[in-house]
Amino acid sequence: MLSYRHSYHAGNHADVIKHLVQVCILNYLKRKEKPFCYHDTHAGAGLYSLQSEQAQKTAEYQTGIGKVWNYTGDNAEIKAYVDAVRRLNQGEDLAFYPGSPKIADLLCRATDSIQATELHPGDYPILASQFQRRKHCRIEKMDAWAGIRAMLPPLAKRGLVLIDPPYELKTEYQDLIKGLQQAIQRFPQGTYAIWYPVIERKAVESFIDAIVDTQIRNQLRIEYCPLPDAEGFGMTGSGMLVINPPYTLKQDMENCLKELSPLLSQSPAAHWQVTQLVDE
Ligand SMILES: C[S@@+](CC[C@H](N)C(=O)[O-])C[C@H]1O[C@@H](n2cnc3c(N)ncnc32)[C@H](O)[C@@H]1O
């Protein structure tokens, strides 16, 4: 089943948190000259028009990037994220939003490599068309977990794997845990950033517990909920579980969320956490 289209949700509060974490990790990897690999398991279309029928229908970006776009503070990570979005938009109008592979394309150096898999027959060609001129890249219309088996470990023995499934099916949570274990067996030194939605609190905690139970070391949880937990109200927040995070990520994201929470909050009961779940 491939009914999910990210064009309805591009630039929402969950994308802001996910892509900010992605920017923090990529910028950390760039501190060393040695090239790294960015691997995106569920890449989406890469670039989204916020004027499209889909984006206008939900208007989710207005409570996400729309609130952060005019950021004037000093936080270097938030500035780097907003700067990446601004590079796709001429002038002051927010018209386009980059997906995760596009953010990687904007931030990675020519020597770094980009690998991405996407299955949707509509989104894959849009994605692939943006990478035709890039060297050191492999963009495949392939299942995410087959892609992990085919492409990990990368030639560069350092990098980030972003895992961002649509969770249309309940089985995707189990598939992720199995795929993650296979990925870590192949590429244990990689950093892994796993996105998850907050829809039902009990289900979220069971999913997190199941990842903790894998015995994988060094797990950092970053979560932001602009709305209080409530069942039956859709997605009230989202999180990133990061395995082998840069040592700077915890402090960086605490600083970011202190500044972003007042901008993104939709309720006095908005809440966030940055928690080391499993030690190194
Ligand atoms: C949440 S979206 C990705 C958004 C993207 N990572 C971003 O941040 O811009 C999930 C994507 O996964 C794709 N997808 C679903 N199942 C997949 C699978 N088994 N393998 C690869 N891609 C899949 C969907 O078509 C959808 O485009």
Q: What is the pLDDT of residues 133-170, one digit of tens each?
A: 999 999 999 999 999 999 999 999 999 999 999 999 98
Over the stretch 7-38, which tens digit does the pLDDT of each residue have? 999 999 999 999 999 999 999 999 999 999 99
Q: In the chain, which ranges are E strands?
A: 37-40, 47-49, 96-98, 113-117, 137-140, 159-163, 191-198, 219-225, 237-243, 271-278
User: Does residue 117's CB lie within 6 angstroms of at least one atom of ligand 1?
Assistant: yes
Which pLDDT score is estimated for 206?
97
Q: Is 19 annotated as a binding residue?
A: yes
8 Å CB contact between 167 and 41: no
C-alpha dihedral, 105 to 110 to 115 to 117, nearest 10°: 30
Cβ of 166 closer than 6 Å to ligand 1, yes or no, is yes
**pLDDT, tens digit (0-9, with 9 covering 90-100), for 178-204:** 999 999 999 999 999 999 999 999 999
Ligand 1 binding pocket mutation candidate from 1, 5, 6, 171 (most atoms within 8 A of CB) = 6
- Residue 164 Cβ < 6 Å to ligand 1: yes
Q: Which ligand 1 atom is the nearest neighbour of the CA of 6?
A: 2
Domains and their CATH numbers in the chain? 6-278 (3.40.50.150)
**Do residues 30 and 191 make contact, with C-beta atoms less than 8 angstroms apart?**
no
106: Cα separation from own chain's centroid:
15
- 268 CA distance to ligand 1 centroid (A)? 32
Point out the residues that are catalytic.
164
Q: How far apart are CA 244 and CA 158, in angstroms?
A: 11
Is pLDDT at 91 greater than 90 in this prediction? no
Partners of 75 in beta bridges: none
Q: What is the mean pLDDT of residues 66-71?
A: 97
Does the pLDDT at position 1 exceed 80?
A: no
Q: What is the CA radius of gyration of the chain?
A: 17
